[in-house]
Amino acid sequence: MTGSGRRTVRTARAFAPGHVTGVFAPGTSGRDPRGRGSVGAGIVLDAGVTANAAWRPGPGRRIRVSADVALPLPISEEVARRLVGPASGTLDVRLVHALPVGQGFGSSAAGATATALAVARVIGRPRARAIEVAHLADLFGGGGLGGVAAILGGGLEVRVRPGIPPFGAVVHRPYPGRILVGVVGGPMPTSAVLRSARTLDRIASAADRLGRLGRTPDVGRFWDASEAFTDRIGLAPRALTDVVRALRRRGARAAQAMFGRSFFAALPPAGRGEAILRWMARRPLHGAELGADPRGARLVTGSGAGRSAP
């Protein structure tokens, strides 16, 4: 915080992790939108979006949200506007992305959540209100279903009831080891996929393993369900399917990140994992090894804002 009196500049930084969904089913029938989203399971990543917010109270009203990517930011902009409300002053938010946008890594939910936490801090809004605004903006802005709820904690997450707390319920368990993520082709807009009734029917019929996974969250069951979901839903283009199958033949657990032309995988131990990394290096694949974030979305100080991935 700098300055004095009405011209005091309040600053805050927040980090929201990215996330990969391996299996899910829409849960959008609730009367209250805070209880809508999805049931499903995924892994919370230790790379995501960092938001730096600066608020200067004063006459007039100006809100600017910018980022390190040359893309529109309608969801994060909506979050900032709603949290500022009628207050007068100048708000600047700068987002930094450590994962590709539009590739199934939860960038819209992470951007909305990081923006919400940072802006709420400088404006003086409670965390619960920030999470609510982020969830609603992501839900109605076409970002995804349940991404904000998933990243409020870390590790392996299982969404057993749609929506954000206290409407929804998410179980978090530690996720051991590393996750290999990679991109095969251009972005796949989530909103376009979710508008297709035929696709939604296929999703619902492919998510039959969710019940067992929710009752007993387990890393092995998660991979079984995710691989089966990828194969049954049939949304992966040929190039991505070929990569997923090649990874499995080499001993990895691999699935499509929903929704992207991208994959995530658990490498086999020791030499077999190294062999897969060498195989990837010989191909035109953009990939990185990441860990699972243990904590979820949070305010940060200094350099504690997750890690970067190419």
- Per-residue pLDDT tens listing for the chain (310 residues): 554 445 689 999 999 999 999 999 888 888 999 999 999 999 999 999 999 999 999 999 999 999 999 889 999 999 999 999 999 999 999 999 999 998 999 999 999 999 999 999 999 999 999 999 999 999 999 877 889 999 999 999 999 999 999 999 999 999 998 999 999 988 876 666 667 777 777 887 787 767 777 777 889 999 999 999 999 998 899 999 999 999 999 999 999 999 889 999 999 987 888 899 888 888 877 789 999 999 999 999 865 555 544 3
Question: Could you tell me which of 110, 5, 8 has the C-alpha nearest to residue 55?
Answer: 8
> How confident is the model at residue 4, as a pLDDT?
46
Q: Return the beta strands (E) in the chain as ranges.
A: 10-27, 37-57, 61-67, 89-97, 156-161, 169-173, 179-183, 253-256, 262-266, 286-290, 298-300
Q: 154 lies in a domain?
A: yes
The confidence score (pLDDT) of residue 215 equals 74
Q: Has residue 2 been placed in a domain?
A: no
CATH number of residue 31's parent domain = 3.30.230.10
Distance from C-alpha of 175 to C-alpha of 119, rounded to nearest angstrom: 30
Residue 280 lies in a domain: yes
Which pLDDT belongs to residue 309?
Answer: 45
Widest CA span of the chain, in angstroms?
A: 64
Q: Torsion angle, CA of 238/243/244/245, rounded to 10 degrees?
A: 90
Q: Is 310 part of any domain?
A: no
* Dist. CA 154–CA 160, nearest whole Å: 15
Asked if residue 47 belongs to a domain, the reply is: yes
- Alpha-carbon gap, residue 273 to 275, rounded angstroms: 5
> How many domains does the structure of the chain reveal?
1
Amino acid identity, residue 158?
A: V
For residue 208, the model assigns a pLDDT of 74
Sheet with 286-290, strands from edge to edge, namely 253-256, 262-266, 179-183, 286-290
- What are the structure tokens assigned to 179, written together? 């996750």
**What is the per-residue pLDDT for 306?**
57
* pLDDT confidence of residue 213: 76
Residue pair 20/257 in contact by the 8 Å Cβ criterion? yes
User: Can you tell me whether residue 265 is helix, strand or coil?
Assistant: strand
Count Cα neighbours of 273 within 13 Å in the Cβ-side half-sphere. Answer: 12
pLDDT score for 33: 95
In a domain, 93, yes or no: yes
Task: Tell me the C-alpha to C-alpha distance, in Å, between residue 133 and each of 78, 85, 148, 178.
Answer: 9, 12, 10, 32
Q: Which domain holds residue 111?
A: 7-304
Question: Which one-letter DSSP state was computed for residue 127?
Answer: H
The verdict on residue 1 lying in a domain is no
Q: Is residue 278 part of a domain?
A: yes
